[in-house]
Structure 1
Amino acid sequence: MGDPVLRQRAGEIEDPSSEEVAALAADMADSMAAAGGVGLAAPQIGISRRIIVFKVPADRATAETNDGPLDLQVLVNPVIEPLSGEMELGWEGCLSIPGLKGEVPRYRKILYRGYDLNGEKVLRHAEGFHARVIQHEVDHLDGILYPERMTDMRRFGYGEELLRAAAEVPPVNERGDGK
């Protein structure tokens, strides 16, 4: 966070099937895996190009809609279209803002398109976590970090502190007074 490349719109990739793009995708996948992430955009490693890598782990897949899990995916020049106005809040972290988490509203259902590393068109519906990771990574391509999407900054902090605070909050009864 603070690197100027993360604040600008990344440039389009002319040939998604080039060896240079394949090498970039491999480097991104290695960087993501080394950091224990589930998504990474090229600007996060200092390259202002429109390419993301991501996966949907089995424990984050949406079973009720059969959306995932997904092994490593590469998407070049992605474009997102919300399929409804329905938004949902979810906790996000980011490899560019280590240790911090925030509750971010995202579209629940999206359509995304772009290209794979063979230059073939990709067109796919996504819901839940799958939709969230795509939106998060495409935001990076547009120079947006997730705190800019947050609506309640009280829901932003260090992951361990947020968990500790949540554990200390007594349950609220019907009167709303916690007694």
Structure 2
Amino acid sequence: MHLYTHILMLAQQWRNQIYTFLQDNLKRQQLPSQNLNYRTVARLFGMLPSAEVAKTMNVAEMQQLYYLAETIKSGNERAVQKLQQLRPDFFRSQADPLDFSGNSLSSHLDVFTSVYTNQAALLINELDLLNFERSAQTFWQQIPETLAIEQESLLALLG
């Protein structure tokens, strides 16, 4: 299996697990969990833990994994730009992360073509995958069993 596929699988598994974890916490606290999507989940995790706790949980690394997966899946311009900000070392050219061919008409990173032509559009390797796997393990080892979520904060995010 290609490295990109492993990264996509890890990101999707983590995304599903964190979504389920947060939904269970909301239900236990009798808070609304409809209209919950990944962006809301990510914003909640940006608000809930203190900066120190977020660092020990590897929240920033897991956000990098999310943007990397979105870049691989679609070459989405927003995901590419976010990933470029967080991990410029993943890109061949820091000056133009959206198009390595010199074609200024493209607004998407052509990840899929790069797989078939054996020219990596992203500079990632197995070590990066292993680091993301370790970050995911640490995240789940450090996360509290329950998260105290204020109803007002949640409603503002869902609103």
What is the TM-score with the length of structure 2 in the denominator?
0.28
Greater share of helix: 2
User: Higher RCO, 1 or 2 (CA under 8 Å, sep at least 6)?
Assistant: 2
